[in-house]
A and B are shown apart, each in its own frame.
Chain A
Amino acid sequence: MYATADMLLTSAQAAAAAEQPQETAIEVVLVKAVLEGDRDGFTRLYHLYAPLVHGILLARVPRAEVDDLVQDIFLHAFKKLHTLRESSSFGPWIAMIARNRAVDFHRRSRETVEINDDLRGSNTQDSRATEILELIRNLPEAYRETLVLRLVEGMTGPEIAVRTGLTAASVRVNLHRGMKLLREQLGFMEGL
């Protein structure tokens, strides 16, 4: 398993490196524009990064809470944007805010009431989706975020690497190992 993942790292790194400059340039321009008072620039940043934040939250908090938290996180980011030192690090920065907000959410919910995480949807497709999502959430933390971003949000491995600030190698290994574990879990479920 490790050998297969390692063999494929070189092409992954090359692809990620090719995509990175363009993405970074957009970020830098938008962050600079927002800091100069352009609110529309922040809306563009929101549209670029909302799927990332949504995926990070979906891997950690109840589905019903995700949309509100996405809005909260972007408002917080808007207020604190002047504290961002490197404009090119907007993605990793907002990803970290999202992870911290998910931790805060669980801390607060433990202090107040038990969250009734009823993920079951109305139709069969939705129900199946929530079941698989639950399986992903039970995987080790390193794999669940990458898998959600890939399978739910439809991002490619290089995109995940660029936007989260992780190395392409890490993302590729996480995807490969996470997918293997998920397949095992799904096989176990179908066997029941």
Chain B
Amino acid sequence: MNDDYLWDKTGEPDPEVQKLEEILGTLRYQPAPLEIPEDLQLPRRRNYFPWLAIAASVLLAILIGGLWLSMRSRREPTPIEAKLTAPAPAKEVTPTSSVTPEHKLPELKPEPREEVVVVHKHRPRSSAPLLSKSEREEALMAKEQMMLALRLTTEKLSLVHKKTQNPANQIKNQHRVG
């Protein structure tokens, strides 16, 4: 048995395979023209690439814009400068004997005012959104309830503590032996 001949028609021909080829060859495909109707249009392959590219570009632009805006608002806060003028400390004027009520107090020369510059620095805002009014009320109520519960617990605990410390209670529950 020659496997090469069966595989790729090389080598020594296998008589049995040759015989089968000869017999079965009568059933072989007979070339016939393909009749494609003229009205049959070939659907074109849809090219989605331009649309996808446009959509991706728009998305990218929005993303970059959003990032830029958020970075800008975080890193470049507008400093709020408040110039506060500190009131000049009143000088105590010790009355002297030479000073009469009629005398005018010596004019105090105004001291140069110190200028205090307060720069309000923006803290980076937390990502958590601010609470709305109703949420804030709800949170306050929850806080009050929590405080009440803690107070009650404390009182109960102190009561228990007192009871356990009371010597009468200790004896009360003991059995006397003998």
- Which A residues fall within an 8 A CB radius of B? 4-5, 8, 12, 15, 34-35, 37, 39, 42-43, 46-47, 50-51, 54-55, 58, 63, 67, 70-71, 74-75, 78-79, 81-82, 121, 125-126, 128-130, 132-133, 148, 150-154, 156-158, 172, 175-176, 179, 182-183
Contact A157 B44 (CB under 8 A): no
Q: Which of A82, A132, A154 contacts B44 (CB 8 A)?
A: A82
Task: Chain B residues near A152: list those with CB within 8 A.
Answer: 24-25, 27-28
Task: Chain B residues near A128: list those with CB within 8 A.
Answer: 23
Question: Do A157 and B42 form a contact, CB below 8 Å, given A129-B24, A132-B23, A151-B20?
Answer: no
Task: Chain A residues near B102: list those with CB within 8 A.
Answer: none
Contact B29 A156 (CB under 8 A): no
Most A CB atoms within 10 A — which of B16, B42, B44, B45? Answer: B42
Most B CB atoms within 10 A — which of A128, A179, A183? Answer: A179
Is B8 among interface residues, defined by CB-CB distance under 8 A?
A: yes
Q: Which of A8, A63, A79, A81 contacts B3 (CB 8 A)?
A: A8
Contact B42 A133 (CB under 8 A): no
Once the chains are docked, how many angstroms separate the CA of A129 from the CA of B20?
Answer: 8
Once the chains are docked, how many angstroms separate the CA of A126 from the CA of B6?
Answer: 22
Nearest 7 Cβ contacts at the A-B interface = A54-B29, A82-B45, A157-B7, A46-B34, A156-B8, A51-B29, A152-B24
Is B106 among interface residues, defined by CB-CB distance under 8 A?
A: no
Chain B proximity of A167: nearest CB distance (Å)? 14
Is B95 among interface residues, defined by CB-CB distance under 8 A?
A: no
Is B9 among interface residues, defined by CB-CB distance under 8 A?
A: yes
Chain B proximity of A176: nearest CB distance (Å)? 6
> A131 — nearest CB in chain B belongs to which residue?
B23
Q: Which of B6, B29, B36, B44 contacts A78 (CB 8 A)?
A: B36
Is B32 among interface residues, defined by CB-CB distance under 8 A?
A: yes
Once the chains are docked, how many angstroms separate the CA of A125 from the CA of B29?
Answer: 16
Once the chains are docked, how many angstroms separate the CA of A59 from the CA of B101?
Answer: 135
Task: Chain A residues near B44: list those with CB within 8 A.
Answer: 35, 82
Is B26 among interface residues, defined by CB-CB distance under 8 A?
A: yes
Chain A proximity of B96: nearest CB distance (Å)? 108
Contact A15 B8 (CB under 8 A): yes
Q: Which of A12, A43, A55, A153 contacts B7 (CB 8 A)?
A: A12
Q: Which of A74, A153, A157 contacts B8 (CB 8 A)?
A: A157
> B29 — nearest CB in chain A belongs to which residue?
A54
Contact A58 B17 (CB under 8 A): no
Contact B24 A4 (CB under 8 A): no
> A47 — nearest CB in chain B belongs to which residue?
B31
> B8 — nearest CB in chain A belongs to which residue?
A156
Q: Which of B32, B34, B43, B45 contacts A79 (CB 8 A)?
A: B43
Contact B17 A151 (CB under 8 A): yes
Contact A58 B7 (CB under 8 A): no
